[in-house]
Amino acid sequence: MGIYLPNMEMPTNCLSCPLQGGTADCRLTQKTYNWGLTEHPSDCPLVPVPKHGRLGDLDRLAKEVKDMAKEFPPDSIGAERYRLFAEFIKTAPTIIPADPAEEGK
């Protein structure tokens, strides 16, 4: 599981990060970085979140919509519409990736 800090701007480098420990040490990775870094180190755990609308669990929504298709005869237009809508949901852009522990559930 991760955390989301609303209204926190993505730091441009380690030196401007509020999570650095006042030394060259990162409080998140417990590693020492070069203060001269002008960009994020490759193992930085911070992920930028683009501007977005309301976020929800689209995997769960797609599954629920696909399950609704089962209420119709398998070859009916109603079942096909629900299946297509579930596929459409699966193609929606990802804002925050799924937690690896939850992936595929």
pLDDT of residue 82: 92
pLDDT of residue 71: 92
DSSP E strand boundaries for 1-105: none
| CA-closest candidate to residue 44, choices 22, 65, 60, 27 | 27
3-state secondary structure of 20: strand
pLDDT of residue 35: 64
pLDDT of residue 76: 94
pLDDT of residue 20: 77
The pTM assigned to this predicted structure is 0.59
| CA-closest candidate to residue 21, choices 8, 33, 4 | 33
The per-residue pLDDT string of the chain (105 residues; one tens digit each, 9 = 90 and over) reads 677 888 888 888 887 888 776 666 788 888 887 766 677 788 888 888 888 888 889 999 999 999 999 999 989 999 999 999 999 999 998 888 777 766 655
Helices 58-68 and 77-90, axial angle in degrees (round to 10): 170
